[in-house]
Amino acid sequence: MVDQDRIELLKEHSKKDENGEPIIHDDTYDVKDMKAFNEDLQELYSEKMVIEGGDNREMLRTIKAVLKKFEDTEYEGQQSEIYDYLCDQLGVDDEEDENDEKGVDEK
């Protein structure tokens, strides 16, 4: 979804041929205004994405399990920030989720 939006931005900011189609050289769009494209791209990347839990519940559990698996790995800079952000957003350290994954019901 984000990748499709990025491609649309590339098409929007690319030079066009005589048919109004974006010009592509060696699988690369010929962007006419890289500054404007980058500004729009940053805006796209800063948007919050919502993953609905219903159909994606198992995927979210898998992502949490993978993040937990790599919690002892050392990260630096942007990788560290991304890892921390994902753990925070998915509640990797929440006790309730750990019990839920083990099938423990706390009622």
Residue 29 has pLDDT above 50, yes or no: yes
12 assigned to some structural domain: yes
Other CB atoms within 10 A of residue 17 CB: 11
- The answer on 95 and 76 residing in a single domain is yes
106 assigned to some structural domain: no
Count of the separate structural domains present in the chain: 2
Output the average pLDDT for the chain.
82
- The answer on 58 and 28 residing in a single domain is no
pTM: 0.47
Q: Report, as an integer, the average pLDDT of 70-96.
A: 84
Give the pLDDT confidence score for residue 105 in this predicted structure.
43
Is residue 32 within 8 A of residue 15, CB to CB? The reply is yes
21 assigned to some structural domain: yes
Other CB atoms within 10 A of residue 98 CB: 14
Residue 96 has pLDDT above 80, yes or no: no
- The answer on 57 and 42 residing in a single domain is no
**Percentage of the chain modeled with pLDDT above 90:** 32
What range defines the domain where residue 76 resides? 53-101
